[in-house]
C-alpha cells in the first residue's frame, strides 16, 4: 500500500511540474532573439553595426563595433543592484518610482551598460504607465527586438544591440506617427542633456 501511495504522489508531482518545466523551456527558447545582424570579425569576435550620436544629438555615420560582452561579475561591479537585475535578468522597474517618466528636458537616453544612444527626448511622450515611453527609437540599428513569452503572453522585448541589455518592451498602442510605445525601464537608461 505504501509503494502504491508513493507511486501516486510521484505521478501527481510529475503532472504538476510538467507544465512549469514546459513554460520554462519556452521562455528560454524565446530569449534567443534575433541575432542575424551580428557579424563575426576575423579574430572570431562578434560585431554589430550601430549608429553613434554625439551628446548634442547629432547623428554620425554607422559603424561596426565589437559586441560588448562582460562576465556576470563584471556586470555586477559596473551596475547597481537594480540596474543589474533589470538589464541582465530581464527585470522590470516598479511603475511610477523613477524620475525619467516625468522628465521633459531635451536630450538623449543612453544604455546604462554601454552608452549606446537609444532614445531621444524628441520621441518621448507621457503614456500614463509610470515608465519612460517613446514612440520611436533614436536609430533602429541600435536596438534589437526579441520574442518574449516569459509572462505566459507573447510580447516583444527591446534590448540594446551593443551589449544585450534588457530595456523593456514594445507595444503597438502608442501615438502618431508610429503608433508604437517603447515602454522602457529607467534602470536601463542614463540621460544626457543636449550639449
CATH at 186: 2.170.150.20
Q: What is residue 19's predicted lDDT score, i.e. its pLDDT?
A: 44
Q: What is residue 153's predicted lDDT score, i.e. its pLDDT?
A: 83
Q: What is residue 149's predicted lDDT score, i.e. its pLDDT?
A: 84
Task: List the domain range (segments joined by +) for residue 96.
Answer: 70-193
Say if residue 112 is in the same domain as residue 188. Answer: yes
pTM of the model: 0.79
Give me the active site residues, please. Answer: 183
Q: What is residue 150's predicted lDDT score, i.e. its pLDDT?
A: 80
The number of distinct structural domains making up the chain is 2
Say if residue 104 is in the same domain as residue 165. Answer: yes
Say if residue 123 is in the same domain as residue 177. Answer: yes
Q: What is residue 148's predicted lDDT score, i.e. its pLDDT?
A: 84
Q: What is residue 22's predicted lDDT score, i.e. its pLDDT?
A: 42
Q: From start to end of the chain, where are the E strands? A: 39-40, 46-50, 63-66, 107-111, 117-120, 124-125, 133-134, 143-148, 155-160, 166-171, 181-184, 189-193
Say if residue 160 is in the same domain as residue 86. Answer: yes
Say if residue 83 is in the same domain as residue 26. Answer: no
90-141, pLDDT tens digit by residue?
A: 999 999 999 999 999 999 999 999 999 999 999 999 999 999 999 999 999 9
Say if residue 13 is in the same domain as residue 88. Answer: no
Pair 30, 146: CB distance under 8 Å: yes
Say if residue 10 is in the same domain as residue 84. Answer: no
* 10-residue mean pLDDT series, the chain (195 residues): 54 45 40 51 80 97 97 97 97 96 97 98 97 98 92 90 97 97 98 95
Report the C-alpha gap between 83 and 165 in whole angstroms: 10
Count of CB atoms situated within 10 Å of the CB of 133:
24
Amino acid at each position: 500500500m505504501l509503494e502504491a501511495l508513493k507511486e501516486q504522489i510521484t505521478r501527481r508531482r510529475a503532472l504538476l511540474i510538467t507544465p512549469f518545466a514546459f513554460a520554462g523551456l519556452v521562455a528560454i527558447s524565446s530569449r534567443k532573439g534575433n541575432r542575424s545582424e551580428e557579424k563575426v570579425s576575423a579574430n572570431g569576435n562578434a560585431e554589430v553595426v550601430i549608429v553613434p550620436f554625439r551628446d548634442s544629438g547629432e547623428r554620425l555615420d554607422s559603424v561596426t563595433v565589437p559586441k560588448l560582452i562582460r562576465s556576470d561579475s563584471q556586470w555586477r561591479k559596473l551596475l547597481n543592484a537594480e540596474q543589474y537585475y533589470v538589464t541582465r535578468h530581464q527585470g522590470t522597474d516598479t511603475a511610477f518610482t523613477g524620475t525619467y517618466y516625468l522628465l521633459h528636458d531635451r536630450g538623449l537616453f543612453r544604455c546604462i551598460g554601454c552608452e549606446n544612444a537609444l532614445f531621444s527626448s524628441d520621441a518621448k511622450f507621457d503614456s500614463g504607465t509610470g515608465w519612460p515611453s517613446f514612440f520611436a527609437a533614436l536609430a533602429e540599428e541600435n536596438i534589437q527586438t526579441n520574442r518574449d513569452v516569459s509572462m505566459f503572453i507573447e510580447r516583444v522585448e527591446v534590448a540594446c544591440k551593443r551589449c544585450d541589455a534588457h530595456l523593456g518592451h514594445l507595444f503597438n498602442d502608442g501615438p502618431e506617427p508610429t503608433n508604437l510605445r517603447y515602454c522602457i525601464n529607467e534602470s536601463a537608461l542614463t540621460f544626457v542633456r543636449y550639449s
